[in-house]
Chain A
Amino acid sequence: MLRLPGTNPRTPGHLISAADLSRDETVLILDTAEEMARVADRPIKKLPTLRGRTVVNLFFEDSTRTRISFEAAAKRLSADVINFSAKGSSVSKGESLKDTALTLEAMGADAVVIRHGASGAPYRLATSGWIDGAVVNAGDGTHEHPTQALLDAFTLRRRLVGADAGLGHDLAGRRVTIVGDVLHSRVARSNVLLLHTLGAHVTLVAPPTLVPIGVERWPCEVSYDLDRVLPDSDAVMMLRVQRERMNAAFFPTEREYARRYGLDGDRMGRMPGHAVVMHPGPMNRGMEITAEVADSGRCTAVEQVANGVSIRMAVLYLLLGGNEPAVTHSLPRTEENTQP
């Protein structure tokens, strides 16, 4: 994402994939977020840092939670925020991404935070030459959601290492279990990559139907047995499972899913005392998580939301707070690119 010595991201100046972040960059983002978090405790929760910069929230999918998180982050840094909801637009999706990008470019967007239903759309936006600004992936299809992984890592570091004690540190040796619909989850992909970069040991748990073919090359382990993995977990991250998956025969019934892969009080009791339960939200209570677990002190879902703002402030600051990343381009502009 940034241009730190020794790193060679595919998309410098943008945040597209957790895979593009080195260990040091990730720790820098987490440390920066820790400072940003302190701003929330001040009487004036605003910094002048991005005054005069324009951040566009370009959302092709509904996601009020993610959008307001980015919006709050940008506003706390004094950036101008434009919300552009492209959903329901009459133009076909393909046309609207490019045309919308050109519109935003004309409006002078310094950063575009994009949520899109198609995997790779942010990468296209960052590398197509349609815009000059920094692109931040706020979730693309079933590909990635890097800021979610960053805020999850931030939450983990605070809980397992400590807010101040964690500064400068990664998650070496921690064991994180990710449970649920890995196949369709951008959160899982980004988390596997980022947690691995931070030295954590990741285990995916899901019914085999919801594990992608090709997972064997991911830097993690795969298990089909939640109960065997729980006692060794420092954190268990429950993924949202859509009930509609049942209709495509990914699992037989909601009840069977909850029985085999849901987290209830009994199962939580088998986790080590210090272990936490995470959920990216929104939760399907009764499906992947019971109310008892969701409302317990070990569940970090609400913290994760608060931490999301700090992480997004850190990302926006590091991308836009200086001169370089905001204006660098991963591809040279070609003649075709520059045509209107």
Chain B
Amino acid sequence: MDTGNARSPGKTAVDAGAARPVLEAPDIARVLTRIAHEIVERAKGADDVVLLGIPTRGVFLARRLAAKLADITGRPVPVGSLDITMYRDDLRLRPARALARTDIPGDGIDGRLVVLVDDVLFSGRTIRAALDALGDIGRPRAVQLAVLVDRGHRELPIRADYVGKNLPTSLRETVKVQLAEEDGRDTVLLGLQQPTGTQQAAAAGEQ
């Protein structure tokens, strides 16, 4: 949710031309494995972990993490999705958006360790919305955050517990995560904001 650029297919082609890959498929696989190990270590076996991905790409990352956790622990790890659209603080800046699926695993989140998973951590507003959404669903024992990329520029007092890659960026730069499930390939691209449609991109990347 937190990529900081527009995701329209038309723009992707332009971005891809101008943008520079900072993580490739093997890097992404490696950092996810590392994060999975960190979760097991910090959660002392990850018995009560529930992974909740934030649509769209956070959900795919959460599923991949869940698979890796299952490999490590030998037990299935509950994984779901948490749509934060209706909790956003910028709803009135754009036309109404289509909702994504919120899917809470059967046993719920009460008393569990919820690990929120997203692709890019930027302003922190998405995570703020996600925390509000969680509060309406149940009362976790604790909430942690795992992101593939932390690009800085926080606007709220929020930090990630697990970070795939810290990526210092300027506000003029864009970070785009592509995942095989959605985009046909795994990569993280660093590019420059397009001069045209800058406003739209900025609005889209507000969170």
- Among A36-44, A82-90, A200-208, the one that faces the other chain is A36-44
Residue B111 is within 8 A (CB to CB) of chain A in the complex: no
- CA separation between A48 and B97, bound complex, in Å? 15
- CA separation between A44 and B91, bound complex, in Å? 21
Q: Which residue of B lies closest to A33 (CB)?
A: B99
- CA separation between A106 and B182, bound complex, in Å? 47
Can you name 5 A-B pairs with beta carbons within 8 Å?
Answer: A32-B98, A42-B136, A47-B136, A320-B96, A322-B92
| Contacts from A to B (Cβ < 8 Å) | 2-3, 28, 31-32, 35, 38, 42-44, 46-49, 77, 317-325
- CA separation between A48 and B93, bound complex, in Å? 16
The 3 closest A-B pairs by CB, nearest first: A322-B96, A321-B96, A322-B95
Q: Which residue of A lies closest to B108 (CB)?
A: A43
Q: Is the interface of B mostly helix, strand, loop or mixed?
A: loop
In the bound complex, do residue B102 and residue A35 qualify as a contact, i.e. CB atoms below 8 Å apart?
yes
Contacts of B100 in A (CB 8 A): 35
Given contacts A323-B94, A324-B94, 17 further A-B contacts (CB under 8 A): A3-B95, A32-B99, A38-B102, A43-B137, A43-B138, A44-B135, A48-B132, A77-B86, A317-B96, A321-B86, A321-B91, A321-B97, A322-B95, A323-B93, A323-B95, A324-B95, A324-B96
- The count of residues in chain B whose C-beta lies closer than 8 Å to any C-beta of chain A is 20
Q: Which residue of B lies closest to A36 (CB)?
A: B99
Contacts of A46 in B (CB 8 A): 136
In the bound complex, do residue B132 and residue A42 qualify as a contact, i.e. CB atoms below 8 Å apart?
no
In the bound complex, do residue A49 and residue B86 qualify as a contact, i.e. CB atoms below 8 Å apart?
yes
In the bound complex, do residue B102 and residue A319 qualify as a contact, i.e. CB atoms below 8 Å apart?
no
Given known pairs A48-B86, A48-B87, A322-B92, the reply for A28 and B137 (CB within 8 Å) is no
In the bound complex, do residue A319 and residue B95 qualify as a contact, i.e. CB atoms below 8 Å apart?
no
Of A42, A319, A320, A321, the most chain B CB neighbours within 10 A belong to A321
- CA separation between A47 and B99, bound complex, in Å? 13
Residue B150 is within 8 A (CB to CB) of chain A in the complex: no
Residue B118 is within 8 A (CB to CB) of chain A in the complex: no
Given known pairs A47-B86, A47-B136, the reply for A322 and B91 (CB within 8 Å) is yes
- CA separation between A234 and B41, bound complex, in Å? 55
Q: How far is the CB of A142 from chain B (nearest CB, A)?
A: 31
- CA separation between A323 and B88, bound complex, in Å? 13
- CA separation between A324 and B136, bound complex, in Å? 27
Residue B2 is within 8 A (CB to CB) of chain A in the complex: no
Residue B172 is within 8 A (CB to CB) of chain A in the complex: no
Contacts of A323 in B (CB 8 A): 91-95
Residue B83 is within 8 A (CB to CB) of chain A in the complex: yes
Contacts of B138 in A (CB 8 A): 43
Contacts of A317 in B (CB 8 A): 86, 96, 99
- CA separation between A255 and B93, bound complex, in Å? 58
- CA separation between A2 and B91, bound complex, in Å? 16
Residue B30 is within 8 A (CB to CB) of chain A in the complex: no
- CA separation between A2 and B95, bound complex, in Å? 9
Given known pairs A35-B83, A48-B87, A317-B86, the reply for A322 and B99 (CB within 8 Å) is no
Which residues of chain B from 6 to 59 have any CB-CB distance to chain A below 8 Å in the complex? Answer: none
- CA separation between A321 and B99, bound complex, in Å? 11
Q: Which residue of B lies closest to A4 (CB)?
A: B95
In the bound complex, do residue A35 and residue B137 qualify as a contact, i.e. CB atoms below 8 Å apart?
no
Of A3, A32, A319, A322, the most chain B CB neighbours within 10 A belong to A322
Residue B75 is within 8 A (CB to CB) of chain A in the complex: no
**B89-115 vs A, Cβ < 8 Å mask (1 yes, 0 no):** 001111111111110000000000000
Q: How far is the CB of B205 from chain A (nearest CB, A)?
A: 17
Q: Which of B86, B95, B102 contacts A325 (CB 8 A)?
A: B95
